[in-house]
Copies of this chain bind each other. A is one copy, B any other.
């Protein structure tokens, strides 16, 4: 009897075992195999045949074909995650990690698809995902902003992450940037600073305006005159922070604290400040925004900043998606951006003239 045992293993790359194969080997029907594999079917299987089936499954290295299963059950245990730009942004990583963990823990697979900003591709990708019958869709955009979503999104439970649509027809999760801006300012206000500079980014971006609003809020609440605080506009790049800081220094006695629209600008500020012989935080305190990985905590001195809740947003989104609660969600849900105090903030220098 040649090959009785050997042939039981899949001949590497050959046809995978099917449920019927398992049944045959165990001497039962495919139905029975299905019952033991799916447990809780309200069915009862004798411990003995159960074991025989399990043995056969192991022997054949059987794994159910999820396409067939999905076809039958109309559930794929799949969450689609579409980004408009997976890019190098740290954004995606944390969000995806959070969403993946929750999804996986609940028995679903998060499949990430990076589209581009190209409307056509975006639409086609969403359609494709729906054709594959994902159970729900998370649509993530990198910079918080209003977006136009593919029509097809209405054909499946969908949720927007970091983006929002006009009519509020799709629920969104967003970072609470206003509170974040306040938190950033509070970091230096609490340390006793009264003369601040704020290096902001493009006014066309929603986060820019929200953070700035938060900043002004905090300044007013602290009893300071917002008009006394200088606001310089840049573009979120490190070199822009560098330039703006140089302008600041050239303009006269520098403020005692420089708040930046993001960590990269803060990095530019660091370079300009050090070049000018100013010490951080003894002479000038600096605050960033984003708590960017490998940057904020690693520069010298470590940068005080505000953290984006990307990981939490990912978790939250996946949670709603697997729980099937998307239809019940409010239009917008804001998650907090907590302050992260580090070494770059200290008390203002004694002589401020």
Contacts and interface: CB of A to CB of B under 8 A. Distances in A.
A16 B115 CA distance: 25
A155 interface: yes
Interface in A148-179: 154-155
Copies in the complex: 2
A191 to B, nearest CB: 22
Given A93-B88, A111-B111, A113-B111, A127 B298 contact: no
B114 A299 contact: no
Contacts of A220: none
A63 B127 contact: yes
A130 interface: yes
Interface string A71-89: 1000010100000001111
Interface string A101-133: 000100001111111000001000101111111
Given A67-B71, A68-B71, A114-B100, A268 B93 contact: no
A70 B69 CA distance: 12
A294 interface: yes
Given A88-B94, A237-B298, 10 more contacts: A65-B71, A65-B131, A86-B96, A86-B100, A88-B90, A96-B114, A109-B129, A238-B299, A268-B298, A271-B274
A267 interface: yes
Contact of A264 (B64, B239, B271, B298): B298
B130 A113 contact: no
A306 B259 CA distance: 32
A307 to B, nearest CB: 13
Given A93-B89, A109-B125, A154 B12 contact: yes
Given A294-B238, A300-B238, A109 B113 contact: yes
Contacts of A87: 93, 97, 293
Contact of A109 (B66, B86, B128, B267): B128
Contact of A271 (B88, B271, B294): B271
A86 B93 contact: yes
Interface string A291-309: 0111100111000000000
Nearest to A296: B238
A205 interface: no
Interface in A266-300: 267-268, 270-272, 274-275, 277, 292-295, 298-300
